[in-house]
Amino acid sequence: MANKAEKVDAAEFLAMLLQYSRDFHYNHINVNVRLNRNPAYTRQVMNVMLKRNSKKYGNDERLYASMTADEATKFLALINQLKEDMFASFADKITWHTDLLVREEQEFGYRQIRERDQYNNLEFELLL
């Protein structure tokens, strides 16, 4: 029997993602969860892309992480919770406080690119 996949620690993953983005001057974090179209299996895959649009540091786009959506459920739940807190307080940006970050606080925007559709695809962007 196969073991269940370990879930990614949400706070630690988000902290590493934000720290890496800041250190290497990425200003867009694009997260998409897509249904794999291969008929042999129907699991969902989450991809995290980093994008940099900068005259000073140049433009760049790279894949930061790719994992099954089952492994990323805690991360997606944390983002959803932060998003709901932002909307509840009528704020334009999310402010996240944690001891995992060097600066202990990070502010970032949230933009929905694609709502969940019939295949449960989801795409959103975190703006630093």
What domain range includes position 101? 10-127
Give residue for tokens 């994992």. 67
Count: domains in the chain: 1
- CA pair distance 92, 8, nearest whole angstrom: 28
What is the average per-residue pLDDT within 89-98?
Answer: 90
Reported confidence tier of residue 49, pLDDT bands at 50, 70, 90: very high
- Binned at pLDDT 50, 70 and 90, residue 1 comes out as very low
> Confidence class of residue 63 from pLDDT cuts 50, 70 and 90?
very high
Q: What backbone phi and psi angles, to 5 degrees, belong to 20?
A: -60, -45
Greatest Cα pair distance, the chain, in angstroms, is: 52
In a domain, 45, yes or no: yes
Residue 65 lies inside a defined structural domain of this protein: yes
Residue 51 has pLDDT above 90, yes or no: yes
| Residue 39 lies inside a defined structural domain of this protein | yes
Q: Is 104 helix (H, G, I), strand (E, B) or coil?
A: coil
CA distance 72 to 17: 13
Which residue do the tokens 């649009």 mark? Answer: 53
Q: What is the pTM of this model?
A: 0.85
The verdict on residue 31 lying in a domain is yes
Q: Is residue 2 part of a domain?
A: no
Taking the C-alpha atoms of residue 35 and residue 55, their distance in angstroms, rounded to an integer, is 35
Q: How far apart are alpha carbons 64 and 72 in whole angstroms? A: 14
